[in-house]
A = this chain, B = another copy of it.
């Protein structure tokens, strides 16, 4: 039965907001990935029509931009100030890897330092802590948190080919520049550039591999071990966290070398 009398007198007004849209988009992305985010599905989850979304948002890209910036919001900047250099012995390959956030979440704001482990892998570590203070600790912490946040939302990797102009992304970048300047880099551009590019590339590569079933890919390469012997022998174990930390150590050491030699 559906007539004027049986219906609610006032449809409970929805009060849709940008915040609700973005939060729901994040959940949808975490659960089903970027390929399944459509305006219709998003609207359905918000219990409205797709048209309504376009009242708050100009295009679908807006939604994606907002969602991506929301990921950066998870990177906490506080408590990074007194981060030590993080150079305890490097342990096994513990937690934190990809495929974490899938399934619900909704809980943003979780600290980004969940899986911190030692890094730097014991090379030239005790070097120049003279003039610049220990600038590497906070910078390393920022990069780890950056990476961890992106890995917690693997869909973000596919969105990194767009300008990161959201307030949260900019705030983190500003923090990075500040730290580098304080450490004594008069031209921090190259340092910030290489660090953030390294993180972006690392996340993309890891998500790519993990999405495409590492086992199969490994088999594929092993079968072709004749053609690519070095790659097949040394490139197939994926201790993602340790490898990332080691590479980050290379970068930081090279930067410190340049900073100190002045």
Contacts and interface: CB of A to CB of B under 8 A. Distances in A.
Give the interface centre of A191, A194, A224, A255 by most chain B CB atoms within 10 Å: A194
A124 B262 CA distance: 11
8 contacts: A163-B208, A163-B217, A173-B231, A177-B230, A197-B205, A250-B254, A253-B254, A253-B258
B228 A170 contact: yes
A204 interface: yes
B123 A208 contact: no
Interface in A214-262: 217, 220-221, 224, 227-231, 234-235, 237, 242-244, 246-255, 257-258, 261
Nearest to A187: B234
Q: Is the interface of A mostly helix, strand, loop or mixed?
A: helix
Nearest to A127: B257
Give the interface centre of A192, A201, A204, A248 by most chain B CB atoms within 10 Å: A201
Given A217-B163, A230-B178, A250 B123 contact: no
A207 interface: yes
Nearest to A256: B254
Given A162-B208, A230-B174, A198 B196 contact: no
Interface residues of A, number: 66
A94 to B, nearest CB: 17
A190 interface: yes
A183 to B, nearest CB: 12
Contact of A247 (B121, B161, B190, B257): B190
A231 B174 contact: yes
A190 B243 contact: yes
Copies in the complex: 2
Contacts of A246: 190, 194
Interface in A175-196: 177-178, 181, 187-194, 196
Contacts of A229: 174
A122 to B, nearest CB: 9
A165 interface: yes
A61 to B, nearest CB: 12
A77 to B, nearest CB: 13
B208 A202 contact: no
Nearest to A178: B230
A157 interface: yes
Given A174-B230, A188-B230, 7 more contacts: A161-B161, A165-B220, A170-B224, A188-B234, A193-B243, A194-B246, A197-B202
A22 interface: no
